[in-house]
Structure 1
Amino acid sequence: MKILTSPAKLMNTENTTDLLKTTVPKFIDDAAYIQSYLKEKSPKYLSELMEISSKLADENWERNQKWKAKPTAKESAPALYAFTGEVYRGLDAKTLDKNSVDYLQKNHRILSGLYGLLKPSDKIMLYRLEMGRPFEFEHYKNLYEFWKEKITDQLNAEMKKNEILLNLASNEYFKAVDRKKLNHTVIDFDFYELKDGKPKTIVVYTKHARGMVVRFCAETNAKTPNDVKAFNYDGYRIDEDKSTDTKLVFTR
């Protein structure tokens, strides 16, 4: 079983671990290629592209100037620990034991606008480049056009016959995978909060729940969809009536 998540805008490269030997991202040459175009962009361009404040744009312009394909340990962190947004708060990697981290190293992959596809151990630098932004470079209209075939082929290469893919990524990021060319069953997820007896989707809770499912799989050594159905952290329970063979629905 492979598990896919989105990255996060919030990052911290001061997070380190003794549980993983760092590795070089599979698509580091592609990342350097994209970064060579990104580096040339002004703070004003970044502000408009990413719809961020001038202060954040200045910060990310500086990141782009400092970025390198072969960073030192001080300048980088393993992807599993570098991202600190809501999904990764739910996952809370720093409190996982060695067996759980080994499970994630084998099964968990992170989609990225800059790096394409990351293993937990891949060392990365601070960056901001969301997959869905209309970033044009060379002859590419956007990042989907650049990444879709590469990411899909890589997932097919890494996955064994009949292995299942758990999609815990956002729609924005999972669009970078070509479902038609992926030779594996994809299981999607929905998370609902019961308010006045009615199920509601609350984005921040959904993000947190996605991370908790990844953590649950690691802590329980989940191998099948049935194993994943037992997910029960923070009051969530499987809704068998709403779930199907290709979608698991959890409510609380």
Structure 2
Amino acid sequence: MKIVTSPAKLMNVENSTDLLKSSTPRFIEDAALIQSYLKEKSPKYLSELMEISTKLADENWERNQKWKSKPTAKESAPALFAFTGEVYRGLDAKTLDKASIDYLQKNHRMLSGLYGLLKPSDKVMLYRLEMGRPFEFEHYKNLYAFWREKITEQLNSEMKKGEILLHLASNEYGKVIDRKKLNHTVVDFDFYELKDGKLKTIVVYTKHARGLVVRFCAETNAQTLNDVKSFNYEGYRIDEDKSTDTKLVFTR
């Protein structure tokens, strides 16, 4: 079983761990190529591309100037610990034991607009480049065009026959996986909150729940879809009526 999540805009490379030996991202040369084009872009361009404030654009322009493919330990952190957004608050890797971290190293992958596909131990620097932004370079219209085949092939190469892919990424990032060429069943997830007798999707809770599912899988050493169906953290329970073989629906 493999699990994919989105990265997070919020990052902290001061986070680290003794439970993982740091590694170099599989697609670091591709990341360096993208970064070579990104580095040339002005703060104004970055502000418009990513719809961010002038202050954030200046900050990310500086990050682009400092970025390198072989960062020091001080300049980088393992991806699992570097991302600190809502998904990763739900996952809360810093409180997991070694067995759980080992499980994630084997099974968990993070999609990235810059790095493509990351293992938990892969060293990353501070960056911001969302997959869905219309960033054009060379003959590529966007990052999907650059990454889709590479990421799909890499997942196929890492997965054994009959393994399933738990899609806990956002739609923006999940679109980079070519499901027609992926030789494995993809399982999607929906999370609903029961409010005033109605089921509602609340984005921040959905992000948090995605991280909780990853944590649950790690802590329980989940190996099958039935194992995942037992997810029950923070009041969630599977809705068997709404769930199918390729979509699990959890409510609370």
Structure 1 counterpart of 2:2, one-letter code: K
1:26-84 deviation digits (Å, cap 9, x = unpaired)? 00000000000000000000000000000000000000000000000000000000000
Correspondence 1:16 to 2:26: no
Distance 2:20 2:197 in 1: 44
Kindly report structure 1 stretches of 4+ aligned residues shifted beyond 6 Å: none
Partner of 1:140: 140
| CA distances 1:73-102 after superposition (whole Å, capped 9, x unpaired) | 000000000000000000000000000000
- Mapped to 1, the partners of 2:4 and 2:16 lie a distance apart of 22
Amino acid at match of 1:19: L
Paired amino acid for 2:62? E
| Amino acid paired to 2:117 | L
1:152-191 equivalences in 2 (<5 Å): 152-191=152-191
Provide the rounded CA distance (Å) in 2 between the counterparts of 1:145 and 1:16.
Answer: 33
CA distance in 2, matches of 1:152, 1:207: 23
**CA deviation string 1:193-246 (max 9, x = no partner):** 001111100000000000000000000000001000110000000000000000
Q: Secondary structure at the match of 1:21?
A: coil
Residues matched between the structures, number: 252
Letter in 1 for 2:195: K
Q: Could you tell me how far apart the structure 2 residues matched to 1:77 and 1:198 are?
A: 42
User: Aligned AA for 1:42?
Assistant: S
Output the CA distance in 1 between the equivalents of 2:135 and 2:198. 39
CA distance in 1, matches of 2:154, 2:42: 33
Instruction: Report the counterpart of residue 220 of structure 1 in structure 2.
Output: 220
Give RMSD over aligned pairs.
0.2
> What is the rounded CA distance, in whole Å, between the counterparts of 1:112 and 1:36 in structure 2?
16
CA distance in 2, matches of 1:174, 1:232: 24
Where structure 2 has 5 or more consecutive residues not aligned to the other structure, the ranges are none
Quick one: which amino acid aligns to residue 57 of structure 1?
A
Q: Secondary structure at the match of 1:129?
A: coil
Tell me which residue corresponds to 2:149.
149
Cα distance in 2 between the residues matched to 1:52 and 1:103: 36
Taking the aligned partners of 1:251 and 1:108, their CA distance within structure 2 comes to 24
Q: How high is the sequence identity, in percent, across the aligned residues?
A: 87
How far apart in 2 are the matches of 1:124 and 1:92? 18
Q: Does 1:97 align with 2:86?
A: no
Amino acid paired to 1:122: D
Q: Secondary structure at the match of 1:154?
A: helix
Letter in 1 for 2:52: I
The amino acid of 2:158's aligned partner reads E
Equivalent position SS for 1:190 = strand
Structure 2 distance, partners of 1:59, 1:139, is 28
Instruction: State the one-letter code of the partner of 1:26.
Output: R
Structure 1 gap ranges (5+): none
Residue 72 (structure 1) aligns with = 72
Q: TM-score, normalising length from structure 2?
A: 1.00
